[in-house]
């Protein structure tokens, strides 16, 4: 498997630190408002990577943080007369709902920044003790020039950054390049060795990745807008505190653009996930994102989404047959083609072409084509609607059961109710006859605590 490493700017063979195990960290949301399509692209992209790594047999630990202490959260709390906790908890639930609606898998670990303060303070203390950081009037700053490799990820040498830096009036930093590890804040702060304050944004991810994944991790991913300064600063503070390499593979997804501009809240040109889901389903949004290579920008338009809607409908409207659970799809040509595409730096557009070919084969009743399609499509996070019967087909199925049992039924509900009576009376012969009759018309009953439902096999 090959992945594009932003650190080297090369597509490299992926080799995890520990054989068959992958530690993966993704920068999560700052929870103060609705998530938009740009966020959807990021989290769907890394959801697909997570699914694919597991599909390949890796034991993956996927950690995605939640930033619940931030200037934007505090500003919103102040404006609405709420506590920061109330604001962040409300918007986290909205985010969680949006991710579920998009069919993204929940990360294995989803830590909140405010629950990792002890780790942050410990790292900041280490950096001060090693001379990489200093306290100034209740703030703590990182000495950028003490880390000569600074700029290695964003390909910006320190002298180049220095030429664009300016010291503002009242600036208490030793150098304009230095960034905050801890900020004095007596109103919304937490106790620390430097007084009441709160962590800088960058230290949060360094602390959470170290606490839950260790000092060196396999994959760190996020949007391309995080390369500088966020990920650059993470590298500096983590490697200076830990004395070892922080990340082996840095992965970044491209922007969603609208009218050729990056979609963002700051520009006010964003579309929320909730608004999009009122018009398009999750499969359509996922298809729109995956038809483009994850590193390339993707231009949003209603025309593009409508095209994706038509494409995914054609893909997922394959003729459905019973899934062959015993089939080893790894022996099939389509499996090899799919893996070849995905191993090539997650070439999802090429992988989709394989799925379309399987749809064509399924529609021609080729043996096991739908089983292979179903299993490979799930790796990309697509969901198939369960097949349904037309009113005429359902009436025919009910008539078939009526004839087999010598009893007139008007609906599936009546059949299910009659079966329940038979089971309650321990009349297993009648219950079994119903099961066999339904099986003959490819209908299976599903029993649960909530009752019995039916579906097509």
Q: Tokens at residue 252, please?
A: 């970044």
> Is-cis flag, bond preceding 229, omega within 30?
yes
- Across the range 175-204, mean pLDDT stands at 95
In sign, the C-alpha dihedral spanning 407, 408, 411, 417 is negative
Q: State the pLDDT at residue 388.
A: 63
Task: Classify residue 382 as left (phi > 0), alpha (psi -120 to 50) or beta.
Answer: beta
Residue 56, SS3? coil
pLDDT confidence of 317, banded at 50, 70, 90? Answer: confident
Distance of CA 193 to the CA centre of its chain: 36
CATH top-level class for 2-262? Answer: alpha beta
pLDDT band for 166, please (50, 70, 90 cuts): low
The strand pair at 298-299 and 443-448 is best described as: unpaired
Return the half-sphere exposure (C-beta side, CA atoms, 13 A cut-off) of residue 345: 18
Question: Where would I find the beta strands (DSSP E) of 27-155?
Answer: 59-64, 133-136, 139-142
pLDDT of residue 167 exceeding 60, the answer is no
Predicted confidence (pLDDT) at residue 25 exceeds the cutoff of 90? yes
Per-domain boundaries in the chain: 2-262, 329-379, 391-456
Range 223-230 average pLDDT: 97
Are the CB atoms for 420 and 412 separated by under 8 Å? no
Residue 323: CB atoms within 10 A of its CB come to 13
CB-based contacts of 208, cutoff 8 Å, min separation 6: 25, 63, 65, 111, 113, 116, 119
| % residues pLDDT > 90 (the chain) | 84
Q: pLDDT per residue over 94-151, tens digit each?
A: 999 999 999 999 999 999 999 999 999 999 999 999 999 999 999 999 999 999 999 9
What value does the mean pLDDT take over residues 171-194?
94
pTM: 0.85
Checking if the pLDDT of 169 tops 60, the result is no
């Amino acid at each position: 498997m090959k992945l594009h490493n932003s650190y080297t700017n090369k597509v490299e063979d992926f080799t995890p630190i520990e054989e068959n195990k992958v530690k993966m960290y993704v920068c999560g949301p700052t929870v103060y408002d609705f998530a938009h399509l740009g966020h959807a692209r990021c989290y769907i992209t890394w959801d697909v990577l997570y699914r694919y790594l597991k599909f390949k047999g890796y034991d993956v630990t996927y950690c995605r943080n939640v930033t619940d202490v931030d200037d934007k959260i505090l500003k919103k709390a102040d404006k609405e007369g709420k506590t920061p906790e109330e604001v962040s908890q409300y918007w986290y639930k909205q985010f969680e709902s949006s991710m579920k609606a998009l069919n993204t898998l929940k990360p294995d670990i989803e830590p909140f920044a405010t629950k990792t303060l002890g780790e942050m303070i410990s790292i900041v203390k280490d950096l001060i003790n090693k001379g990489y950081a200093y306290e100034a009037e209740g703030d703590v700053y990182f000495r950028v020039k003490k880390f000569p490799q600074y700029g290695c990820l964003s390909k910006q040498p320190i002298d180049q950054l220095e030429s664009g830096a300016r010291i503002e009036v009242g600036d208490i930093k030793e150098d304009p390049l230095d960034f905050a590890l801890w900020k004095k804040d007596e109103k919304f702060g937490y106790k620390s060795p430097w007084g009441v304050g709160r962590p800088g944004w960058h230290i949060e991810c360094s602390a959470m990745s170290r606490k839950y994944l260790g000092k060196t991790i396999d994959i760190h991913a996020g949007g391309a807008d995080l390369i500088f300064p966020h990920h650059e600063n993470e590298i500096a503070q983590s490697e200076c505190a830990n004395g070892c390499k922080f990340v082996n593979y840095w992965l970044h997804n491209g922007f969603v653009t609208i009218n050729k501009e990056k979609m963002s809240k700051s520009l006010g040109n964003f579309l929320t996930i909730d608004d999009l889901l009122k018009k398009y389903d999750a499969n359509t949004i996922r298809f729109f994102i995956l038809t483009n290579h994850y590193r390339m920008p993707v231009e949003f338009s209603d025309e593009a989404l409508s095209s994706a809607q038509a494409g995914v409908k054609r893909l997922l409207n394959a003729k459905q047959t019973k899934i062959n659970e015993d089939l080893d799809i790894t022996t099939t040509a389509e499996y090899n083609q799919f893996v070849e595409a995905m191993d090539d730096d997650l070439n999802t557009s090429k992988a989709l072409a394989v799925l379309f070919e399987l749809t064509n084969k399924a529609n021609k009743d080729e043996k096991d084509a739908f089983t292979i399609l179903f299993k490979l499509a799930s790796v990309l996070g697509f969901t198939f609607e369960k097949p349904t019967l037309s009113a005429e087909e359902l009436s025919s199925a009910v008539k078939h059961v009526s004839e087999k049992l010598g009893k007139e039924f008007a609906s599936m509900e009546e059949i299910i109710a009659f079966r329940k009576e038979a089971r309650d009376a321990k009349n297993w012969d009648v219950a079994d006859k119903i099961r066999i009759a339904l099986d003959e018309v490819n209908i299976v009953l599903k029993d649960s605590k909530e009752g019995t439902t039916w579906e097509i096999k």
